[in-house]
Amino acid sequence: MSWLDTVRAAAEAVRAHRLRSVLTMLGIVIGISSVILTVGLGQGAQDEVEDQISALGSNLLSVSPGSSTDASGMRGGFGSASTLTLADAAAIADTDVVPDAAAVAPTSTTSTSVVAGETNWTTSLIGTTASWLDVRARTLDSGRFFTAAEVADGADVVVLGPDTAGELVARGSPVGETVRIDGNALTVIGVLAPSGASASGTSEDDVALTPIGTAMRVTGQTPSSVSTIYVEATSGTTLTAAYQEVEALLLNLHGLASADADFTNATQDSLVATANATNETLTILLAGIAAISLLVGGIGVMNIMLVSVTERVREIGLRKALGATPTAIRRQFLVEASLLGLVGGLVGVVIALVGAAALPALIGQPVSVSALATAAALGTALALGIGFGVYPASRAARLTPIDALRSE
């Protein structure tokens, strides 16, 4: 009996019991679709995190102050100290000391209220330098960014994020308008283009940027102290080198050993790894739960194949009496089990693809289904059919013709 004949006979046996076959495949269908969608949701979340972090700036290093301790011994979180200064940023910008740094942008951030006419809005006020726009890989929707001369002079100018501009000015562009921050009048000279990114739980589009001296003056912050120093490496390949150079420089400037560092230095890779850690754990957990239904589906295949062997004992005996070998009998039942697994897998993949197309609009979460994951799911379904069909097929192959023919 050729392989083609075996496949035809197996397909006919499956069609002969359509309802039973459909119910048997249901466990595999649910398992395959669940696993693909679960992994796709996890991968989609990771891709979204990576895109958002990439939107924060290219080849970016983020240097933040360490933690502070008050008189009562209460320790603040990372970033609560005032250990980074404009002098540190100037030292990092020295290409003789940090040759792999292309640009540096120190920032001083605080939350404040911005007033435009009768409208007010609380936003993040960021004092920075003219290099911020390039370091953070941002663009302007209208107007311009402040210049190095305006930074040096502490000019009363401000650049608004698109969300902030939308809250302050209902229609038209705010460029050229005057806004007030803590009683100080500032002229709006530009509006950032939307980035859609977020950092530390705050939107990168809900900001107001001024020269760093201006921000410190209008808010009364500590002179020369900065909250973050952003460093753009010369390229992706030099990011690690820039990280090491900045780390060594700041430790030397602050007179500290590595274990006592009063700052934290983070790259995009470390941010992505941290943000994805929880997603990966949840994805593995949910995929494991979904895989249980695959196991149940495989057990269902074994159960139905055992029933099929019992129902077809006389057929098996007749075939053996006519010369069929145990290998041929075993092969026929294995092919039947494989068909159940493969068809169930194909249906599960189709349902998963439909779900991947429909779910983002319903839950607002991207679903990324890869060809590799789909192929692996199909392979798993086929392997389940074969694996759980081995015992029933072997049992059928071991039947002797005389016992099979005289059974009722």
DSSP string, 235-273: SGGGHHHHHHHHHHHHHHHHT--GGG-SEEEEEHHHHHH
pLDDT of the residue at 71 = 45
- The structure tokens listed for 182 are 């803590």
Residue 81: count of CB within 10 angstroms of its CB: 18
pLDDT of the residue at 179 = 93
- C-alpha–C-alpha distance, residues 85 and 223, integer Å: 9
pLDDT of the residue at 249 = 93
pLDDT of the residue at 74 = 45
Q: Using the Cα atoms of residue 229, residue 233, residue 236 and residue 238 in order, give the sign of their dihedral.
A: negative
pLDDT tens sequence for the chain (408 residues): 577 777 777 778 777 778 878 887 888 888 888 888 888 887 787 777 666 655 555 588 889 887 644 444 444 444 445 788 999 999 999 999 999 999 999 999 899 999 998 899 999 999 999 999 988 888 999 999 999 999 999 999 999 999 999 999 877 889 999 999 988 999 999 999 988 665 555 678 899 999 999 998 988 776 778 989 999 988 878 888 998 999 999 999 989 888 888 888 887 666 556 656 666 776 677 677 767 777 777 788 787 777 777 777 777 777 777 777 777 878 877 888 888 888 888 998 899 889 888 888 887 778 888 788 788 878 888 887 888 778 777 877 776 766 655 655
In this structure, are residues 174 and 167 in contact, taking their beta carbons and an 8 Å threshold? no
**51 Cβ contact list (under 8 Å, min separation 6):** none
DSSP secondary structure letters along 119-145: EEEEEEEEEE-TTHHHHTT--EEEE-P
pLDDT of the residue at 69 = 44
pTM, two decimal places: 0.58
pLDDT of the residue at 308 = 77
pLDDT of the residue at 200 = 53
Q: Using the Cα atoms of residue 73, residue 76, residue 77 and residue 78 in order, give the sign of their dihedral.
A: negative
| Nearest Cα residue to 15 out of 343, 264, 354 | 343
pLDDT of the residue at 288 = 75
- C-alpha–C-alpha distance, residues 142 and 260, integer Å: 45
Structure-token match 């230095």, residue found: 265
pLDDT of the residue at 79 = 45
In this structure, are residues 229 and 105 in contact, taking their beta carbons and an 8 Å threshold? yes
pLDDT of the residue at 100 = 92
